[in-house]
């Protein structure tokens, strides 16, 4: 880290909190934020999609494929289960798919 960032810097800030707050406000605030910006000619307009979005429920094969591709070392999700559990327990994966 010393090689990348150099020696540790020491020092003190010699200003009041109000001065620091005013400086930050002056630098980072946008006085024109309430004004309408109008159209931007440089933005591209995307083409309409050629196919409709698939809103169907996920198929078992899709869920299996996602679980298969997931790394087993990933952190557990909100339910606390690791991908490793679903990879090694096909019946549990089937139950997960039914819940989805």
Percent with pLDDT over 90 in the chain? 33
More confident residue, 83 or 98: 98
Instruction: Show Cβ contacts of residue 67 under 8 Å, excluding neighbours closer than 6 positions.
Output: 83, 86, 87, 93
Distance, in Å, from the CA atom of 44 to the CA atom of 12, rounded to the nearest integer, reads 48
- Indicate the domain borders of the chain: 60-99
**Residue 75: is its pLDDT beyond 90?**
no
Question: pTM value?
Answer: 0.45
Residue 85 confidence class, pLDDT cut points 50, 70, 90: confident
> How far lies 79's CA from each of 75, 76, 82, in Å?
11, 7, 9
What single-letter DSSP state applies at residue 42? T
pLDDT at 14: 86
């Amino acid at each position: 880290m010393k090689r990348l960032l150099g020696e540790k810097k020491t020092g003190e800030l010699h200003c009041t909190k109000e001065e620091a707050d005013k400086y930050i406000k002056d630098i980072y605030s946008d006085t024109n934020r309430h004004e309408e910006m109008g159209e931007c000619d440089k933005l591209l307009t995307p083409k309409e999609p050629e196919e409709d979005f698939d809103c169907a429920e996920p198929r078992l094969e899709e869920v299996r494929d996602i679980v298969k591709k997931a790394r087993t070392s990933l952190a557990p999700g909100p339910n606390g289960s690791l991908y490793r559990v679903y990879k090694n327990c096909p019946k549990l994966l089937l139950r997960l798919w039914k819940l989805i």
